[in-house]
Structure 1
Amino acid sequence: MAESSVTFLLEKLAIIFENEDHLLGVLFGGVRDEAVYLRGDFERMRAFLRTADALQETDQEVEVWVKQVRDIAHEAEDILDEFTLLHDHDHGHGIYGTLRTFGCCVRNAKACYRIASELKAINSRIKNICEVHKRLRHKLIKAEQGPGSDSVGITWQDRRGDALLLDKSDLVGLDQPKQQLEGYLFKRSPGREVVSLVGMGGIGKSTLAKQVYDDPEVRKHFKVRAWITVNQSFKSGELLKDMVQQLFKAIRRQVPQVVASMDNNQLKTTIKEFLQQRRYLIVLDDVWHLYEWDAIQNALPNNSCGSRIMITTRNADVASTTRVLSDGKAYELKPLPPKASWDLFCRKAFQRHKCPTHLEDICKDILKKCEGLPLAIVAISGVLATKDKRRIDEWDMVGRSLGAEIEGNDRLKYLKKVLSLSFNDLPYFLKSCFLYLSIFPEGHLIERMRLIRLWVAEGFIEAKEGRTLEEVADDYLRELLNRNLMQVATTTPDGRVKTCRIHDLWREIIISKSRDQNFTTIVKEKSVPTQWSDKIRRLSIHNTLRNVQPNRSASQLRSLFMFGVTKKPSIRTLFPNGFRLLNVLDLHSSPLKKFPVEIVDLYFLKYLSLRETKVKTVPRFIGKLQNLETLDLKHSYVKELPVEILKLQRLRHLLLYQHEFVSYEHFHSKNGFKVTPKIGVLQELQKLCFIEVNEDGGTIIRELGKLNQLRRLGLLKLRKVDGRALCSSIEKLSNLRALSIASMEEEEVIDLQHLSSPPLLLQRLYMRGRLEALPHWIPSLPSLVRLSLKWCRLKEDPLISLRHIPNLVQLELCQVFLGDRLCFKADGFRKLKILSLDKFNELRCIEVEMGAMDCLEKLSIQRCKLLENVPSGIEHLRELKVLEFSDMPVDLMRTIRPDGKDNWRVSHIPEVYSTYWREGGWEVYSIDSMTDGEYCPLPSNVFSSELETRWKSWK
């Protein structure tokens, strides 16, 4: 993590030197000279910091050195930002702008000399650190060469091999995955195939693979087998020699002596010739990167003998790539289910006896934190097995302070180390992103776009040519997911990650790392008030302000978050000395009623969230926040922004709207905001939602055409006369990915026929309002995956042209067609997975031809009062998993009940149910529960998430 701090400092220094002018060089040469020395020293140290970061956990001397480097980098960064504030803030010329007047220099000379003196003191301390660095250098160089290089300080014992020696009586939950994997191995396919087993560290991949490897039927089927442990100390030559020895042993032959002197190519040739005519099984256990696979795969021939290669890995990219290239299989090992977890826990904690009744609740709470991770269950239950079963307080202490137990209990050090291997393998920029997750409370679902915008504001994202910072950040998030360090919690219907989460144990570990490295300070409701560093850089407050003591010095604070705080926060009271260097202020859901005036001087502020607060107005001084990139006022009470918003030239994300759900029949579902007609000056805007265009529509819409960085645009209250200007602007928005449009009133026509060049990158299109004809350009959108059309009332069947949209995954049609028949042709909607048909008032018949929508997984039909039968041909939809009817005629529903005439058409669908909107709520019924013309309601919690999703789609 010191590497991240130093890199960030060097980037800041580079910007200073790129933007310096003559005055800066001459009048403040002291500052400049010290900055030059500073840059040189840190550049020399950075080369070894990545190795030092990894080594510090096992070498105390290196740990102290890394901490000193990190602290000095932070102090230097603070001083440089103070210097920036001194000169640029007063004159408004940008963060690192030039000094314009001699008067300014004279006025600030004293402060500049102070800053030069502070930098000089830092440089003096760096010289001492550099002396230590010279002594550590040989240790770091040896560590770079790998654990096999006689490196110093490696004190932990790699006991992962113990997982291969477990007795079968100690294993739970492996029968089904073992059977599945063996099925892949025995599959009648003559070609060589790769079977990948992927999952997070400690989930039991090696254990499962060894059970398959040693199975008598597998041994009988594959006469030649080899188990190769790859891991992070990968050395291809040693692995190839190990493989040769195992292969020759399998056929009871001695290894030729010449093998010891072979190079890698000779070893590969030997292995390939040996295996060419044999059916073999090779297990490559603990593969971390694709280059490890690439270094070995050419030695393993595709010999048409039914050979198999099994890979265990934490990296989903390794699994998916090898699967695609070899036409193989990838199996994701899931956490143990609750029953199996409890069984394993009791075996270890109570030596196969039942859990005492008085400890059940405590044990279940502890087990919940393990989240089905076998290694964690075994390790923590082993700790509990030593506790006195009569002392409830001892068991409760483990549950309440699991993070401290992991940190300080020798029995849990191995668990921490196995999980930390994944962290240590990360590049420095991903380490910062991952540690950042510690700001979120336990169990919090982390919204993907919120996290991406925060990472960008913190400066964690490296710029890449041709890509936005948000796109690079999205790659970072995907990489953390692929490495099984994060988990997808929810996705959008078209497959995008919506929210994600981290395993509770990972959260405890990164909180510990964040605290040790002064990365984040967490204040929780149950926290004991403690003294924290005066130089905390990020503060995350969870649920309470009680333990946040006023009068704390927080002058170096860079980020402040509040989660679940119910008491009105007073920034002035909590931080009377202020925090002038703040980059991020996230007061999401805080009980604020007024815009906090304290932020007026936060010159460095890049991210401001007042989402879901009761703030009603934004003051004019918002214009002083010239570095602001994200302004999130979503679900606040703000209706209008001052003209000073135009001064925020760096603004990238402007979010301001409220959901409004008056009734099931209500037309408008969002309230947006009124924007100044000159919005086009905000050239960096990527997301702008939702603008109420109203009577100023023509001027505002023409201005939108200047925002060529826009990725998402939302417009409300459009009029027909705005159509031509809107089409002209859309043609200029070449980066547009999502477009949402709603007309002024339900009867108001949206005129979008004037678009000659459609936005080819558009992925999501939402249109709400009357259409005289379906816009001709919609079917030609190659990237469109989601289309929502509501209240269009077309006279022509829209399916005729929509069916050829090549990548459409989700289609929502509400009151779109006035005809009485819809036909889904055999050649249409080849990738569609979700289809919703709502309020087709004249519709009497739906036909699905053989071959149409052959990927459809969910079909929802709502409020089609004249529909007489279920869709003809629905029996052809073999992938259909959910069929939902809402507010549909009871006579139609009788046709598909168990004794109904059309039940055979839907009998292959796993979930068929009906819902009704009554008295402001949903009632849910299973079709199977309908007998004698009566419905039996399902419990209220059934399909609750499904109904919530549908409600949100109406929003």
Structure 2
Amino acid sequence: MVYVSQEAQATEILRDIAKQVGFSDEKMNENLEHNLYLFLQEKKYLIFLDDIWNIKTWDQLRDTLLVNSENGSRIIVTSRHTNVGNYIGATARYLGADQFLVPLDVLSKDYALYLFKDMISGPNYENEVRKPLREIGEKIVDKCGGLPLAIEVVVGMLRVRGMSIPAWNEVLRTMTQIPENNCLKLLSLSYNDLPRNLKPLFLYLGIFPENREILVPQLIPLWVAEKFIRANGNQDDDVENQINELISRNLLQVSCRKSDGRVRSFRMHSLVHDLCMQLGEENNYFCTRNNLTKARDVTIVRRVTTNTSFLHENAFQDVKIPKLRALFCFYNDVDLFKFLKDNAPDLHFLRLVIIEFYDGKVVKVPEEIANLSGLIYLKMIGNVSEIPESIRRLRRLQTLEIRSTDIPEGVLKMKHVKHLFLSSLIVVKKPHGLPCFKSSTDEDEEVEVDLPNIQSLDVDFGPKLSLTPSSVKKLTSLKSLGIQVSKREMMDHVFPAEPVLTNIEAIKLKIHVSFFDDIPKLDLYEYHSLKKLNLYFNTAHDITGKVVFPPQVMKISLRRVTNIDDHMDSLKKLSNLESLKLKKCKGHKLDFSGEGNFPKLQLLMLKYTVFTKLVVDDYGIPRIYKFIYEASPLLENVEIPERLRKVMEKEIHEEV
């Protein structure tokens, strides 16, 4: 299923489809349309394109998606515009495809009431809900005008208020004051019903573009930087709790969950997003760049967002925003960059800058960005280049993320930065100074870094870069590390016999063993703080006798590890292991049986992992509650133990 916003680009939609069917980055970045067309020719598929707004978007998609497949494939398209639906049907007929146009009206009274009852308490509605409440419920449904979204949101309000007559009567009384068929007014009830602490968090989501899939891990540092959430070590849980509250009220829709059931990403219905935008600007919570000149008082605007590709010219001309705190740019906005260049010294309160776009030409980041002296969070990814060396002068910066074609050398000498996320092909050197980085086409060169306060470091500079032993010794505060390993020496430098990273809590290694013969021994036994370990290999690799797992580890994820059964004796003795994920691994007998083995394991994932026998009894893995299994194409007739089958069936039943 693909959500199509009013401003969606055809390339974005095709990339979304390609990602869902498992395309590699290489296939998505080169000849995407051709690769997807060939892939669909061989498959029986169902594609659901939700809410296509215009004919142009369909014209750009049809040649790739309307494949002459005889496998019974289908494409379902929804649109709020009848002329778009008619046009799509006409083009389908012209290309020889069967088509059925189904006009969608509001729900009939009976269906609306059925939806309401099902969402309140399912098939037990008549038994669980008292007659007086059922009578009020029917009146509430009538006020929803047959709109499914309105029913969904109102149900969310009723759930929170509880099954009491005064509570339901209060909702009904409020709804009677709203003109009939005024959907935004009806949805605004849910906003008014939010607790005080949730209202700003809900409005904040209107800053993002319509139909944007918002990742919870990316939202966490933003809300911490905005001081909505305290950085007390529990900020991940605190943000997730707030998101879950909005989901329970049916204001957000879950897009993806993690393997442990927690929310990874979510979306907002386009009408709810419209409400968010309207309320956000009415309350001066944020301002879209197109409306800066219309703002009641631009001098008190705290947040500005470019969340639409329809850009008015000269939106920033002669505009002064002295109280600006956060700036978001999700589309290529030349005027915004000029505004930053001209006004940076005066933006004393600006704390967050998020530049994240892939449309249009590549934009050069102005040198003057270094004059944003109050900046604590800076993110620049997509079509941005020539990141200036001057950003090293941002003394208050705590979080820096750059995903660009080039990165200045000074970023690994920013002693005050706590969280650093970098990805690049080329590292620009100073004209007169010792090089820290290099182009991936140069000779191998080690990296000298100086980050004494760094807590999170995630670096990808391609296959020819390494870290020096002296650099690693300066990472004494490091808690989370993610690196690409393409040289054997790098493993020795980062994980010497005498542990250096003694405070490390999470490690993610992507090891390119195709660049060297074999990995050295990775002994993590003395890393007592290490709770999460990810080891990924670019080709199948045997690590027997090469890896010693940390004793306190709680989560392990392994990819492309062969002879995985050789490690079962070590894994089953890890007393705190709660999650084990084996992806594209190979083995023979995977034995999870035996009393006392895997005592705390709750989640087991076998994804495209090849094995001949899976052994589970009534004594091993006593706490298992989630089993995720995706069979490898190379696997034939392997029996899944009954106990694990029951775990999967129970989970499916609970989801339904």
Q: After TM superposition, is the score higher than 0.5?
A: yes
The structure 2 residue matched to 1:454, chosen from 222, 230, 233, is 222
Where does residue 103 of structure 2 map in the other structure?
none
Is the 2:525–2:550 Cα contact (8 Å) retained in structure 1?
Answer: no
Of 733, 739, 743, which aligns to 2:508?
739
Q: Give the count of matched residue pairs.
A: 494
Residue of 533, 545, 549 corresponding to 1:778: 549
Matched residue, 2:154: 373
Q: How many angstroms apart in 2 are the aligned matches of 1:482 and 1:746?
A: 48
* Partners of 1:833 and 1:858 within 8 A in 2: yes
Q: 1:641 to 1:461 in 2, by over 3 A?
A: same
TM-aligned CA deviation for residue 538 of structure 1:
0.9
Q: Deviations over 1:288-314 (max 9, x none)?
A: xxxxxxxxxxxxxxxxxxxxxxxxxxx
TM-superposed deviation, 1:514: 3.8
Which structure 1 segments of 5+ residues have no match? Answer: 1-166, 183-207, 217-226, 228-335, 351-362, 387-394, 407-411, 660-670, 883-907, 912-955
Alpha-carbon RMSD: 4.6
Q: Does 1:858 align with 2:628?
A: yes
Q: Which runs of 5+ in 2 are unaligned?
A: 1-108, 158-170, 426-439
Change (3 A) 1:686 1:371: same
For residue 606 of structure 1, report the CA deviation from its aligned partner.
Answer: 1.8
Which residue, out of 353, 361, 365, partners 1:595? 365
SS in 2 for 1:622: helix
Counterpart contact for 2:605–2:627, Cα < 8 Å:
yes
CA displacement 1:643-675 (0-9 Å, x = unmatched): x2245333122222379xxxxxxxxxxx99999
Change (3 A) 1:494 1:768: farther
For 2:121 and 2:228, locate their aligned partners in 1 and report how far apart those are by CA, in whole Å. Answer: 44
1:738–1:451 CA distance, 2 compared to 1 (3 A): same
> Of the candidates 542, 546, 561, which is equivalent to residue 307 of structure 2?
542
1:841-864: CA deviation from partner (whole Å, max 9, x where unpaired): xx6x22434346664532123253
3-state SS of 2:495 partner: helix
Q: Are 2:454 and 2:477, in contact at CA under 8 Å, matched by a contact in 1?
A: yes
Q: Is residue 801 of structure 1 aligned with residue 566 of structure 2?
A: no
How far is the alpha carbon of 1:588 from its aligned partner? Answer: 0.5
The aligned runs of 1:546-695 (5 Å cut-off) are 546=312, 548-563=315-330, 565-566=331-332, 568-569=334-335, 571-572=337-338, 576-578=342-344, 579-581=346-348, 582-590=350-358, 591=360, 592-615=362-385, 617-634=386-403, 636-638=404-406, 640-642=407-409, 644-657=410-423, 677-690=447-460, 694=464
CA distance in 1, matches of 2:131, 2:144: 29
Q: Which residue of 2 aligns with 1:879?
A: 646
Equivalents in 2 of 1:773, 1:585: separation in Å?
46
Give the match for residue 498 of structure 1.
264
Inter-partner Cα distance in structure 2 for 1:561 and 1:367: 32
3-state secondary structure, aligned to 2:517: coil
User: Alignment partner of 1:603: what SS?
Assistant: coil
| Aligned pair partner of 2:557 in 761, 766, 787 | 787
Structure 2 length-normalised TM? 0.62
CA distance in 1, matches of 2:277, 2:269: 12
Q: Does 1:752 align with 2:512?
A: no
Q: Do structure 1's residue 703 and structure 2's residue 471 form an aligned pair?
A: yes
1:713 counterpart residue number: 481
- Counterpart-to-counterpart distance in 1, 2:579 and 2:236: 25
Q: Partners of 1:747 and 1:815 in 2: how far apart?
A: 20
Equivalent positions of 1:124-135 (< 5 A) are none
**Shift in alpha-carbon separation, 1:446–1:732, aligned structure 2, 3 A:** same
1:132-171 C-alpha deviation (Å, 9 max, x unpaired): xxxxxxxxxxxxxxxxxxxxxxxxxxxxxxxxxxx99994
How far, CA to CA, are the matches of 2:333 and 2:120 in structure 1? 52
Change (3 A) 1:692 1:605: same
| Equivalent position of 2:34 in the other structure | none
Task: Name the residue aligned to 2:48.
Answer: none
Provide the rounded CA distance (Å) in 2 between the counterparts of 1:714 and 1:646: 15
Q: How many percent identity over aligned positions?
A: 19
Note closer, same or farther for the CA distance 1:566–1:686 as it changes in structure 2 (3 Å cut): closer
Deviation at 1:789, TM superposition (A): 3.2
Maintained 8 Å contact 1:735/1:761: yes
The residue number in structure 1 matching 2:128 is: 212
Instruction: Give the Cα–Cα distance (whole angstroms) in 2 for the partners of residues 608 and 703 of structure 1.
Output: 24
Q: Where does residue 666 of structure 1 map in the other structure? A: none
Aligned amino acid, residue 862 of structure 1:
S
**Alpha-carbon spacing, 1:681–1:573, altered in 2? closer, same or farther (3 Å):** closer
Q: Is the 8 A contact 1:822 1:847 kept in 2?
A: yes
Which one has the largest radius of gyration?
1
- Mark the CA change 1:168 to 1:686 in structure 2 (over 3 Å): closer, same or farther: same
* Map of 1:836 onto structure 2: 607
**Do the aligned residues in 1 keep the contact of 2:370 with 2:393 (CA within 8 Å)?**
yes
Q: SS of the residue aligned with 1:877?
A: helix
| TM-score normalised by structure 1 residue count | 0.45
Residue of structure 2 equivalent to 1:444: 212
SS class of match (1:373): helix
